[in-house]
């Protein structure tokens, strides 16, 4: 309080014990990351979960979530779940697309257990926030990673609708193998309008290597002549679908920010 700091879930602090039940927080260490919703400090990475099918992935929503994670300084990994029901090899295609964009991708199935050990190793000794739309298998996955682990979701908002007071604080659930999982899904507030439209490109990691070829230093890769990013899309070095998401989100940010003015 003296330093006008409010402790957050996930903070690393120095405490001065007064007795067995009471201690004073003397110091809060500098935060590596600070998420707003859920309000948690020092999250190491996010696991963005989408299903390969049932439901089909909403690619714009997926790309939006990668932008939200990256813009919070939290490295995302993408998990495509329900591999067991994938008859057409769509999982493999999704993996290729997102690896080309520079993300780490895990294909998983709660039925065959494929990918579960990889995911377990990935979240060990880290603070992880899970994200993704409902129905993709987040809770089932978490339960496979550790028995009894699940995410708080629907029930909370139901209570709020009925006007009951519920504090919306998050908690960190300790993992048996070391590490922590945030108990509520991340990036549920999905607006990107806190970003300047021209800043969006910084959160598409695959653009970086091609931007040097752009004729204009301030190219935003939309309509400019001599754009290195558009050239890379034409030669399949950048996924056309990712680029379409970029254009869509760029326009969306422009439109919402215009409404505010
Ligand atoms: P959440 O809303 O993201 O937490 O999703 P749930 O964990 O509640 O799962 C939604 C539905 O998908 C449930 O009926 C699960 O049994 C099913 N499900 C979860 N993972 C898998 C999987 O790997 N394969 C298949 N076929 N179904 C799954
Ligand atoms: Zn460009």
Give dist(CA 55, CA 44) in Å, integer: 28
Strands of 150-219, DSSP E: 172-174, 180-182
Token pair in block for residue 117 = 């050990």
State the pLDDT at residue 261: 65
Average pLDDT of the residues of the chain: 92
Which structure tokens are listed for 140? Answer: 């089932």
With a 6 Å cutoff on the Cβ, whether 55 touches ligand 1 is no
pLDDT of 163 over the 80 cut:
no
Rounded Cα gap, residues 53 and 136, in angstroms = 8
User: Do 131 and 187 form a contact (C-beta atoms < 8 A)?
Assistant: yes
Instruction: List pLDDT tens digits, range 89-104.
Output: 999 999 999 999 999 9
Region 74-81: what's the mean pLDDT? 97
Q: Which residues contact 211 (CB under 8 A, 6 or more apart)?
A: 201, 219, 221, 228, 229
- Convert the pLDDT of each residue in 120-157 to its tens digit: 999 999 999 999 999 999 999 999 999 988 888 654 44
End-to-end Cα, the chain, rounded Å: 36
Q: How much distance in Å is there from the Cα of 78 to the middle of ligand 2?
A: 26
Does the structure show a pLDDT above 50 at 28? yes
Q: What is the distance in A from the centroid of ligand 2 to the CA of 247? A: 12
Ligand closest to 198 (CA) is 2
- Say if ligand 1 is within 6 A of residue 110 CB: yes
The pLDDT value recorded for residue 156 is 46
Render pLDDT for 187-196 as a digit per residue (tens, 0 to 9): 877 789 999 9
Using the mean position of ligand 2's atoms as its centre, give its distance from the Cα of residue 213 in Å. 8
Taking alpha carbons only, the member of 245, 209, 248, 241 closest to residue 228 is 209
The token duo for 195 is 């970003």
């Amino acid at each position: 309080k003296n330093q006008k700091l409010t402790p957050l879930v996930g903070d690393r602090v120095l405490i001065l014990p007064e007795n067995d039940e009471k201690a004073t927080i003397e110091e809060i260490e500098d935060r590596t990351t600070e998420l707003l919703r859920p309000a948690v400090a020092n999250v190491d990475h996010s696991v963005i979960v989408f299903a390969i099918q049932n439901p089909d992935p909403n690619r714009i929503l997926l790309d939006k979530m990668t932008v939200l994670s990256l813009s919070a300084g939290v490295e995302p990994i993408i998990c495509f779940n329900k591999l067991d029901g994938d008859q057409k090899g769509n999982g493999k295609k999704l993996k290729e697309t997102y690896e080309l964009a520079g993300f780490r991708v895990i294909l998983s199935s709660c039925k065959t257990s494929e990918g579960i050990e990889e995911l377990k190793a990935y979240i060990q000794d880290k603070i992880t926030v899970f994200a993704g739309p409902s129905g993709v298998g987040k809770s089932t996955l978490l339960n496979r990673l550790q028995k009894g682990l699940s995410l708080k979701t629907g029930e909370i908002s139901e209570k709020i609708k009925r006007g009951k007071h519920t504090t919306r604080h998050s908690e960190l659930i300790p993992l048996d193998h070391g590490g922590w999982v945030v108990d509520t899904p991340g990036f549920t507030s999905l607006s990107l309008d806190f970003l300047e439209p021209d800043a969006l490109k910084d959160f598409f990691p695959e653009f970086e290597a091609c931007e040097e070829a752009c004729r204009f230093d301030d190219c935003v890769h939309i309509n400019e002549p001599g754009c290195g990013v558009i050239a890379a899309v034409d030669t399949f070095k950048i996924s056309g679908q990712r680029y379409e998401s970029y254009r869509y989100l760029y326009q969306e940010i422009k439109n919402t920010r215009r409404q505010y003015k």
